[in-house]
Amino acid sequence: MVCRPGFEDNPTEIVRHSAAHIMASAVVRLFPNAKPTIGPVIEDGFFYDFDYPPGFTENDLQKIEDEMRKIIKSNAPFERIPISREEAIRFFEERGDAYKVEIINDLPADAALTLYKHGDFTDLCRGPHVGYTKKVKAFKLLSIAGAYWRGDETKAQLQRIYGTAFLTREELDAHLVKIEEAKKRDHRRIGKDLELFSINENIGGGLVLWHPKGARIRHIIESFWKDEHFKAGYDLLYSPHIGRADLWETSGHLGFYSENMYSPMDIDELKYYIKPMNCPFHIMVYKDKLHSYRDLPYRWAELGTVYRYERSGVLHGLMRVRGFTQDDAHIICTKDQMQDEVLRTIRFCLYILRAFGFDHYEIYLATKPKDKYVGDVELWQRSEEALRRALDAESLSYQVDEGGGAFYGPKIDIKIEDAIGRKWQCSTIQFDFNLPERFDMTYVGADGQRHRPYMVHRALLGSLERFFGVMIEHYAGHFPFWLSPVQIKVLTIADDFIDYAGRVTEKLKQKNFRVECDSRGEKLGYKIREAQLQKVPYMIVIGEKENTEGTLSVRHSKKGDLGSLTLDGFLEILIKEQHSLQDAD
């Protein structure tokens, strides 16, 4: 097994690493024809891929767990066995294990190889492991999925078993509770129940249909996003969905990103590509005329829909799609403006995230890669320092990802934390030394000479589709009042009260609240349950008393019965809640 480096000092990951080996040995005992391939530690657990054409079933997981417990109880030591390249190849050839032979042949010639053995199971692995199998005390196998050898769909299809392990039973139990909570919050189920979106295979995998209620929320998000960008000194752009091949040649996408792009279209004997990114279009807006240093900075933003090829096996609801709308922006500035622009971008980013209810996040500063990068070292150092100073100026804690920058520039990545503690990558602020050079972007400086501007890519939400999926799971469908597609349901007890209910509904609509009136002949309890299932924040019940007195009986989806209110009194509550968004500032 080839395991990822960098966890040698993490006891939990060492336990997971060892549990993966124990799982593989249990599988081989129970299914002698199963061939182990690779099984790394991943976030929150581990997996192992097996070549086993019959396939595993969910019922097999319990059998494998039971066998793992037997292996753990034997308390076999994990033995580290250094081995030469030639010996390792011979060892696995004799076992008929072509997968390990391929891995070995792809390693550098001077790579140090080791085997790890416990009981009757031996695997290729760099380690480390726990000393004895009994050290693995708290584990659970979670699911089965399909996978391709080395992620290549043209190669063998494998069976993947996911599991997790922790140092203590208490940690494991807490994690399993979190998994169950995550299942309840699955945006695909909630999205269907609340009629927010769908993905129809007759249209194509990874292509999202926004239903009326989901589209209403999207409209609210986009309107807020645009208004706040104007306030923050941005201008909006709109760009085409396709562009000529030479545009993507210049940008480098056809050279470095073509596997993620769709096949070209022939138009007027020229090849056009549907866009995977918005950047080249924004640059062409810039190049439409000559610019002076007095014109800078430019802050240009676009909600631009892009299309990228994703393998069918990785598509996942709104989280991994083939067509999505990026909340893209590009800041074009001078060297002297760079520091202030980064600082204001960070502030703006955190303001937007807080507005949507995300107050907890992790920040990463990714620096220059060791080998492949563009731009001179001084440029990188100056840009990295600008990012550091901006983070320090806001007293933000962050982790440095040494060498983790893109080849075209350093960046800040922000991972938001949802209601059950999961981290989601959304926001990014990236310098780009590549595209300004490729497109020969210039401005005229105070000295009358041409200079190269700095360009910063920036996304706050990442993509509307993925961010919407994260929000569904964060709120479990109970959106904040200002985002709810239906904010108020007016429910009649009998037909005699339909006129009054209609007048109340119209008055609320005139105040720009999103209201629906349910005057069907169903029982009140049924109407209330249906509104609760639809996660409508407020319900107004209209009966004899309300109709006679001109009042409202108000219920809140979480707080319960709020009692009898006048329409004006209810409006005060609504207006206060509608404007609670301002507290994000």
The catalytic residue positions are: 279, 308, 326, 328, 330, 411, 457
Question: What's the angle, vertex CA 201, arms to CA 196 and CA 206, rounded to 5?
Answer: 65
**Could you tell me if 64 and 19 are in contact, meaning their C-beta atoms sit under 8 angstroms apart?**
no
**Could you tell me if 396 and 342 are in contact, meaning their C-beta atoms sit under 8 angstroms apart?**
no
* Four-point Cα dihedral 49, 50, 55, 58, nearest 10: -50
Helix (H) or strand (E) holding 532: helix 524-533
Residue 316's φ and ψ, nearest 5 degrees, are: -150, 95
Rg (CA), the chain: 29
Separation CA 35–CA 123 (nearest Å): 11
Q: How many residues does the structure list for the chain?
A: 585
**Could you tell me if 334 and 451 are in contact, meaning their C-beta atoms sit under 8 angstroms apart?**
yes
Residue in 487, 427, 433, 477 with CA at minimum distance from that of residue 456: 433
Separation CA 541–CA 527 (nearest Å): 10
Q: DSSP for 31-62, please give it.
A: -TT-EE----EETTEEEEEEE-TT---HHHHH
Which one-letter amino acid corresponds to residue 450?
R
Rounded to the nearest 10 degrees, the angle between the axes of helix 212-231 and helix 464-475 is 110
Separation CA 479–CA 423 (nearest Å): 19
Separation CA 408–CA 432 (nearest Å): 5
Query: E strands along 222-315, which residues?
Result: 235-236, 242-244, 265-267, 270-274, 298-307
Helix (H) or strand (E) holding 148: strand 138-148
Distances (CA, A) of 472 to 155, 184, 185, 189, 324: 36, 11, 7, 10, 17
Helix (H, G, I), strand (E, B) or coil at 488: strand
Do you find a cis peptide bond into 297, omega within 30 degrees of 0?
yes
Distances (CA, A) of 71 to 18, 19, 27, 128, 313: 12, 10, 11, 19, 33
Indicate if the alpha-carbon torsion angle 479, 481, 486, 487 is positive or negative.
positive
